[in-house]
């Protein structure tokens, strides 16, 4: 049995804090902080997942209004112990090229494309934590026999939790957070 490398040991008895992610150059790409614990990607990324995220990013970039930017591989600092990295997000915040995270109030949409390794976190943990942080829109996209199915949620301000806004197959049309018209099947048509 090998010992853990020194960088994997929390810097304090209380564990990891959100700002610690910026001090871990040895950590694997896409390392997240969930409830004070580092979460590493544990399985190879499927082509379907990466292709869908890329196509969705490009398509949403074409549809977003001025002042809204679509990004990927950017963490959201929900609080001092949570800094997840959605597959993509939409923000209206001014972008500093050296920025490494966004605040939840800067995010208008968080999107997770579910993989076997992330399914539990995407369906339960992130659904709860993104809502508690006040992110107005959350999409969870699942693979249903090779076709993307979007589970769309909208924040209910009165309860502070997400209300289902629909399950979309084939096409996804929404007026919020901006006018969106997606042909979901076309996003993976050339696979």
pLDDT tens digits for range 86-100? 999 999 999 899 999
pLDDT exceeds 80 at position 43: no
What's the domain count of the chain? 1
Q: How confident is the model at residue 151 (pLDDT cuts 50, 70, 90)?
A: very high
1 lies in some domain:
no
Tell me the mean pLDDT in the region 174-188. 98
pLDDT band at 1 (very low <50, low <70, confident <90, very high): low
In whole angstroms, give the CA distance from residue 142 to residue 167: 10
Please report whether residue 59 resides in a domain.
yes
Looking at residue 70, which CATH number applies to its domain? 3.90.1570.10
pLDDT at position 42 is: 73
pLDDT digit string, tens, across residues 103-115: 999 999 999 999 9
| pLDDT score, position 191 | 84
162 occurs within a structural domain = yes
Kindly state the average pLDDT of the residues 6-19: 89
- What average pLDDT score do residues 63-77 get? 96
Tokens found for residue 10: 């929390």
pLDDT at 2: 73
Euclidean distance between CA atoms 116 and 47, whole angstroms: 13
Kindly state whether residue 5 falls inside one of the protein's structural domains: no
Q: Which domain holds residue 110?
A: 13-187
Spell out a b/e string for 141-175, using b for 16 or more CB atoms within 10 Å of the CB, else e: bbbeeeebbbbbbbbeeeeeebeebeebeeebebe
């Amino acid at each position: 049995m090998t010992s853990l490398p020194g960088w994997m040991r929390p810097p304090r008895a209380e564990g990891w804090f959100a700002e610690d992610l910026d001090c871990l150059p040895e950590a694997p790409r896409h390392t997240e902080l969930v409830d004070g614990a580092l979460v590493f990607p544990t399985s190879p990324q499927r082509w379907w997942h990466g292709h869908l995220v890329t196509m969705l990013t490009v398509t949403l970039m074409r549809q977003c209004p001025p002042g809204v930017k679509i990004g990927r591989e950017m963490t959201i600092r929900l609080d001092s112990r949570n800094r997840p990295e959605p597959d993509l997000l939409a923000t209206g915040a001014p972008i500093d090229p050296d920025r490494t995270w966004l605040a939840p109030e800067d995010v208008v949409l968080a999107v997770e494309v579910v993989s076997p390794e992330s399914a539990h976190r995407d369906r339960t943990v992130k659904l709860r934590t993104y809502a508690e942080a006040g992110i107005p829109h959350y999409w969870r996209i699942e693979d249903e026999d090779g076709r993307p199915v979007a589970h769309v949620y909208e924040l209910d301000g009165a309860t502070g939790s997400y209300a289902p806004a629909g399950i979309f197959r084939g096409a996804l049309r929404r007026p919020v957070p901006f006018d969106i018209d997606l042909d979901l099947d076309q996003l993976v048509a050339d696979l």
